[in-house]
Amino acid sequence: MTTRDDAPAPLDPAPEPHTGLMGRFRNYFLTGLIVTGPIAITFYLVWWFVTWVDGVVRPFIPLAYRPETYMPYVIPGWGLIVAFFTLTLVGFLAANLIGRTLVDVGETFLGRIPAVRAIYRGLKQVFETLFSGKGSSFRKVGLVEFPSPGMWSIVLISQSPNEDVARSLPGQEEHVSVFLPCSPNPTTGFFFYVPKSKIIEVEMSTEDAATVIMSAGVVQPGSAPDPKKAAALAGMANAARIANASMLQPEPAKAE
């Protein structure tokens, strides 16, 4: 005579991650992609920039001063070196009395051309602000409630508006110029004035903010990828995929 056991049947253990040959190859491939992908893209962008500068500067270098005139191959980066020393020499000359005089004469000449005057002055102010280190443009990061209440966007805080614009803005509160970059291309976005009390400043550098925007939030500050953890991350992703697949499988019918 058999007795009925009312104890519930033990649950099946969770399936172990697939560690077969194909699973290992997949993990190794993902690990190699995570490690070499950023390095390859970085080298490609650097090579593109060097090649572009060489193509712009090389036609202005006499043949007698080009290395390929005496060598059977072209040396990449020679145009970049020449451009660097040329810009340094121009800066040295512009810092002297004669150089400042020539710059003033050139600016006076450009200032008399209506169409060129506005373009030159605007670009000069942008370059002086970005590269002189005197301005405070885009040195702070903040949060603004945009595009609707309860939704916050990362903005780059710029300078305060000039007196004419400040007088035209409604209210008595101080406003600040901000730039809201778009994802994944942070070079495009929206520029607007916002009350200073509506901005929440964040302890984040502009480089970290650009990284967050370009990655659409996938990469957060302080979460730089570690090559040693790449294999573990790939294994965890594979295990999660298998676990999700097992949850979707129908449960076996219980015996009466």
Structure-token pair, residue 185: 């291309």
Say if residue 247's pLDDT is above 60: no
Interval 56-72 mean pLDDT: 86
pLDDT of 132: 60
Interval 97-105 mean pLDDT: 82
Say if residue 227's pLDDT is above 80: no
Is the pLDDT higher at 111 or at 255? 111
Structure-token pair, residue 68: 């390929």
pTM above 0.75, yes or no: no
Tell me the pLDDT band of 235, cut-offs 50, 70 and 90. Answer: low
User: Which residue do the tokens 């007088």 mark?
Assistant: 167
pLDDT of 44: 92
For 197-212, what is each residue's pLDDT tens digit? Answer: 888 888 888 888 888 8
pLDDT of 14: 47
Say if residue 3's pLDDT is above 50: no
Say if residue 237's pLDDT is above 70: no
Averaged pLDDT score across all residues of the chain: 77
For 173-202, what is each residue's pLDDT tens digit? Answer: 888 888 888 888 777 888 888 888 888 888
Interval 232-251 mean pLDDT: 56
Tell me the pLDDT band of 130, cut-offs 50, 70 and 90. Answer: low
User: What contacts 209, CB < 8 A, 6 or more positions away?
Assistant: 141, 154, 156, 181, 202
Q: Alpha helix (H) ranges present in the chain?
A: 21-57, 78-94, 97-111, 114-131, 163-168, 206-214, 230-248
User: Which residue do the tokens 């500050």 mark?
Assistant: 221
CA-to-CA separations, 14 to 21, 23, 112, 159, 247, in angstroms, rounded: 21, 18, 79, 58, 10
Among 73-87, 90-104, 223-237, name the one with the lowest average pLDDT.
223-237
Interval 236-240 mean pLDDT: 56
pLDDT of 2: 47
pLDDT of 244: 54
Q: Give the rounded distance of the alpha carbon of 42 from its chain centre.
A: 12
For 79-90, what is each residue's pLDDT tens digit? Answer: 889 899 988 988
Cis check for the bond before 184: say yes or no (omega within 30 of 0): yes
**Any idea where the domains of the chain sit in the sequence?**
27-131, 140-214
